[in-house]
Amino acid sequence: MSDDEAEDGPPLVARVHQFDRHSGELADNYRADLDEQICGELATSLGNYLRSFAAERKVVVRIEVEANRISAGREDGTELMITVYGPEIFEITRWPNPADAVEDGSMRFDLAPELESDVAVALARRYVVNGTIEQENA
């Protein structure tokens, strides 16, 4: 195996989670045409909320905010990335613990694009408590 192959690691496979949007269709260029100030303020607000939520639940989660992005990391090695593209446009990516992530030679991660705020907050809260964005079976 070459050095490049070792650094690249296993191929990535996304498990895409789709949710209905009730606030209308998105413009094709929403990722490039974002208001950095508004998105940064929303990211800061959501980051602060998630810190408070984690403290209330007595869960250790590292939460960092940079511009329109929030990163959260749990002690189990999983990470959540939230990108804010607008007041009702969020994208969430949940990365597994790299030590546990390789299945059939590939690393599977969760992606939930084009989320409205209520869904994004619910998934972020679920991650803080359970380390996953998937709903647990009853």
95-115: pLDDT as tens digits: 988 777 676 778 889 999 999
Q: Is 69:86 a contact under the CB 8 Å cutoff?
A: no
Residue 89 lies in a domain: yes
Mean pLDDT of 51-58: 98
Residue 37 lies in a domain: yes
Residue 102 lies in a domain: yes
What pLDDT, on a 0 to 100 scale, did the predictor assign at position 131?
Answer: 93
Q: Determine the structural domain holding residue 68 and report its residue range.
A: 11-18+27-130
How many domains does the chain divide into? 1
Specify the pairing of strand 61-66 against strand 69-74.
antiparallel
Percent of the chain with pLDDT over 70: 91
- HEC string of 35-69 equals CHHHHHHHHHHHHHHHHHHHHHHCCCEEEEEECCE
Q: How confident is the model at residue 30 (pLDDT cuts 50, 70, 90)?
A: confident
Cα atoms found within 13 Å of the Cα of residue 107, Cβ hemisphere only: 15
Instruction: Answer yes or no: is pLDDT of 3 > 50.
Output: no
Q: Is 68:39 a contact under the CB 8 Å cutoff?
A: yes
